[in-house]
Amino acid sequence: MSVPQNMPLPKLLYLCINDGSDTRINKEIRTLASRFDIIYLGIGRDDSQAFVKPFCSEFYLIKGHHKSVATLIRYFFTFVKLYFTRRFRSIHVINEQLLLIFFPFLIWSRRRIAADIFDSIFLRSGSSAVRSLQSLLYRLPSKIIVTDDNRKTLVPKEFQSKTVVVENYPYAFHNVQPKVAGDDELLILYSGSLGVTRGTLLLTELLKRSPKVKVWMIGWVYDEPTRQLSQHPQVRFWGVKTQQETMRLASECDYILSVYEPINDNNLNASPNKIYDAVQSQTPVIINAEIKVAQFVTENGLGYKLDSYYTTDFDMLLQELISQKKAFLFDPDFRRRYTWEAIEQKLVEAHLH
């Protein structure tokens, strides 16, 4: 169903704590902007990386950090002002924290609410109190959006009927570059949320083994060991890039790092877009066996599987990564199937039906 050209687009309030640079948020905003008038409310230091801004009719970025009480108070009152001065057809809420913060308003709202859960706080704890809170919050949205079928099974059964899967696929990519590392060298892309539970320690150990190991970093640095890694002489830190820029750089690398420390259900059930970036960029991933999606990677020859996140034989690992880096072939059908363009309509439908 298309909107007649002479009619104004319905308004959609998009709530998150991102500055407009997150890859998935960018895809969602671009898709939703074709059917809605987007009002964006986020948090960040500045809008220099707000890639979503051109697709929003109104863009509000609360200056500060999302863990700052003062910032959250300003964020809350900006929401209240927008809530009472705009007529929204729909509200898109990223993750459960914001459902909780705005609960008093959302529980009485007649607007359609879509809760987009791609980093669930409820998969980090198994306490009964937390589960009770989940049951309360999940009653609010009209639709719950998750990133894969496995994560849908983790939604409590009473809410699965209103849960829809909108996969974490990238846009189709057609600008694959030649690999830049020599046959006896290793170049690894480390992208996204960068921290000690996502591969910093593994890369630090590999860099110690040989000057022929290089790392390209793209994304957001979350801790001091990762900041130190970004300054290593064998590391190049590119900052934050768009998804298309990231995939062009990924296509030049030998591997994309996609490891998660198995410390909670959220990590064990990770749904990394890096796997599908690998398909589009024709660059294999490195993934650890504890993560459920690692089985999909190995079954389809999409990358190298570590026996454990806590591997200790880094000399052997380095040898195997170099010797196997050209052994992975990517099915052309995968490149056509696993794209954002193929599934983005499901996001629109979550707000319309």
Q: pLDDT tens across 78-126, in order?
A: 999 999 999 999 999 999 999 999 999 998 877 799 999 988 888 877 6
pLDDT in tens, 17-45: 999 999 999 999 999 999 999 999 999 99
Exposed/middle/buried for residue 279 (C-beta within 10 Å: 0-12, 13-18, 19+): buried
Q: Provide the token pair at 37.
A: 């008038």
Nearest to 33 by CA among 2, 3, 12, 4: 12
Q: What are residue 304's DSSP bridge partners?
A: 286
271 has pLDDT over 90: no
Q: What is the percentage of the chain residues whose pLDDT exceeds 70?
A: 98
> What does the alpha-carbon distance between residue 137 and residue 120 come to, in Å, rounded to a whole number?
12
Residue type, 143: K
Q: What is the DSSP letter of 38?
A: E
Q: What is the percentage of the chain residues whose pLDDT exceeds 90?
A: 80
Residue type, 349: E
Residue ranges and CATH numbers for the domains of the chain are 11-168+341-352 (3.40.50.2000), 186-336 (3.40.50.2000)
H helix runs in 164-271, sequence order? 200-209, 224-230, 243-252, 265-268
Give the orientation angle of helix 23-32 with respect to helix 345-352, to 10 degrees: 60
Phi-psi category of residue 46: left, alpha or beta, with phi > 0 → left and psi -120 to 50 → alpha:
beta
* Residues contacting 287, CB < 8 A, separation 6+: 258, 259, 275, 293, 294, 297, 303, 304, 305, 306
Instruction: Name the residue with tokens 């589009």.
Output: 280
* Residues contacting 283, CB < 8 A, separation 6+: 189, 250, 251, 253, 254, 255, 256, 277
pLDDT band at 142 (very low <50, low <70, confident <90, very high): very high
pLDDT in tens, 279-338: 999 999 999 999 999 999 999 999 999 999 999 999 999 999 999 999 998 888 888 899
Rg (CA), the chain: 21
- Cα separation of the two ends of the chain: 11
pLDDT band at 6 (very low <50, low <70, confident <90, very high): low
